[in-house]
Structure 1
């Protein structure tokens, strides 16, 4: 019995020791946690190192980057107004032609013969009209006989004009000066009004067509200059706006603009892709700050400035944006110390340690 009691007492002592040890360790950890919390709180309440930028007025050119398409000034698919065999082709593929130059001729010998016959008839009718006019003045013929001869003369002249128009349609001429493309016909081939002869384009000047967001429409006017470049050349080109679409596209909410670009060296190719830089206007005096400094809010945007060693929040209004900066139209003034780093830790009245000042 005594041995059993001794075992019970030993077990009770072991259990008591374990309980005491656990409670002692828990208090030590709690004390350590409080000490660490006290140290952390002290660090949290310390000044936040920040960089500040001195706000100043600056001049800004409002540019936007767009894409556009290059088109020739004029472009036409040459076709014939009459059908017939081709008797002559008078142009070289890819060459420059002048306005009015004969490019293709269609068989017209029958029409030429008809015109020649008509000219003989006109000569005879003219002489007959003249004789009857003289006789009428002498009352040797009636007014009706003279009117008949005059009508016959005028009718033959009208027939001659019709034949001349038919002959003119057998000659396909260049409607404007430009460069002619690859031909689709051959000498002796049959040409119909549905047959494409070649494409004629006017390459100087060239047209640049692009779309501008609706908000910028009031800033685009005829005479505005546009800078652009193309993949096939390293040169920078300039175009001048000459036409603006009067209606806004309801799908994209953009307005279509067209400009002309001089192309004396034929460096600009029709159908190409243009990277456009459009200068909208120049703001002579405004405030531009780094975009990351402006913190969006539910109602407006805000920034933090350094004042008397602490952070002060300022609500601001913004407008123009570039790749790296944003315009502040209200809320900042020249001379303010704008905080540009450590913004995640910013709160009103947070103490600051300014490590760098950017002027």
Structure 2
């Protein structure tokens, strides 16, 4: 009886184990596993995001830091040591070319000029009389030459005195806006003392450095946009000149652009961010995600006849999110953008969505069927 009970228990255990193996699917031949990203049971195709290769405008820009300068700028200084007798401008005033800015004490200079003019009148009178005497042979030629030399000397003295008188008056050399004054009436100034500044800021010269690698693409007339922390909007200008030498340390060239500033919002000395818009051209672009780097080479997976074909490409210029394809692809080719890690050369793929480099989401036709 005991043997019968033990045998029945063993049969129950064996039946339970067999049921567990069958229900778990273990060791079942032909069992199908569906991996994440697969197209579905039995398809074997990987769902991938693709894009259609095409040409698009490519205007790569470059940013630099520049400093604003006035179109014309001078420090107003005295030529001689003298005392200020008149300040003829207001701080921040717009002046015209030739306007009087400052006058100095001119009493001594005027006296010197009056003396020189008197001597000139006397020598001119003597010379005129001597010519009449020379005509009658009452005066020798040597004496006439001496009187003429005296006349010339007195003319030079008058010219010098007038020049000294002119130095007592400072005039604006060009139209512009004067800055803050550093002297007062009665101040004694020496040569080189800065009385005020004068700037013509109707046009701003913006100087910035460009690396040597971009030198071939910089030319006069190229448009720029610039910004400053003082204003929210942008200022447009054009490259006016390029320095003929590169800095041997930084290997950069100094570039100057001109910005219209008739509204006087920009001030000399401002720090500005410059964006240089290089000439626009057409380029074959793909998203950077499509690239599969391997060593020094770049590859993409092109979709042909429903399969991923590993294709080597030569890349060119870059901009955020996109890269130029120089060689390896043709316009109209379809390449994998997302899912490159799940495919191999020759793997079947299911392109479900496509995106162009310009960001438009389109459906791609692959192998004559719309994905």
Q: Structure 2 length normalisation: TM-score?
A: 0.82
Is contact 2:77–2:195 with CA below 8 Å preserved after alignment?
A: yes
Is contact 1:87–1:106 with CA below 8 Å preserved after alignment?
A: yes
| Partner of residue 209, structure 1 | 207
Q: 1:304 to 1:252 in 2, by over 3 A?
A: farther
Q: 1:162 to 1:33 in 2, by over 3 A?
A: farther
3-state SS of 1:197 partner: strand
Deviation at 1:290, TM superposition (A): 1.0
Q: Are 1:276 and 2:274 matched, yes or no?
A: yes
| Partner of residue 318, structure 1 | 315
Structure 1 stretches (4+) deviating beyond 3 angstroms? Answer: 32-36, 38-46
| Partner of residue 35, structure 2 | 43
Deviation at 1:248, TM superposition (A): 2.2
Deviation at 1:179, TM superposition (A): 0.9
| Partner of residue 72, structure 1 | 70
Is contact 2:96–2:174 with CA below 8 Å preserved after alignment?
A: yes
Q: Output one character per residue of 1:49-94: Cα deviation in whole Å (capped at 9) or x when no partner.
A: 1011111122222322333221111222211111111111111001
Q: Are 1:107 and 2:99 matched, yes or no?
A: no
3-state SS of 1:43 partner: coil
| Partner of residue 174, structure 1 | 172
Gaps of at least 5 residues in structure 1 are 1-24
3-state SS of 2:280 partner: strand
Output the CA distance in 2 between the equivalents of 1:96 and 1:120: 41
Q: Considering only aligned residues, what root-mean-square deviation do their CA atoms show, in Å? A: 2.5
Output the CA distance in 2 between the equivalents of 1:194 and 1:94: 21
Output the CA distance in 1 between the equivalents of 2:202 and 2:27: 82
| Partner of residue 242, structure 1 | 240
Deviation at 1:187, TM superposition (A): 0.4
Matched positions, count: 330
Output the CA distance in 1 between the equivalents of 2:113 and 2:32: 110
Is contact 1:208–1:239 with CA below 8 Å preserved after alignment?
A: no
Is contact 1:55–1:338 with CA below 8 Å preserved after alignment?
A: yes
Q: 1:53 to 1:147 in 2, by over 3 A?
A: same
Deviation at 1:346, TM superposition (A): 3.2
Output the CA distance in 2 between the equivalents of 1:234 and 1:325: 28
Name whichever structure is richer in helix by fraction: 1
Deviation at 1:42, TM superposition (A): 6.6
Gaps of at least 5 residues in structure 2 are 1-16, 39-43, 356-361, 363-371
Report the more deviating stretch, 344-353 or 42-51.
42-51
Output the CA distance in 2 between the equivalents of 1:34 and 1:158: 121
| Partner of residue 182, structure 2 | 184
Output the CA distance in 2 between the equivalents of 1:276 and 1:131: 74
Q: Structure 1 length normalisation: TM-score?
A: 0.85
Is contact 2:25–2:31 with CA below 8 Å preserved after alignment?
A: no
Deviation at 1:174, TM superposition (A): 1.7
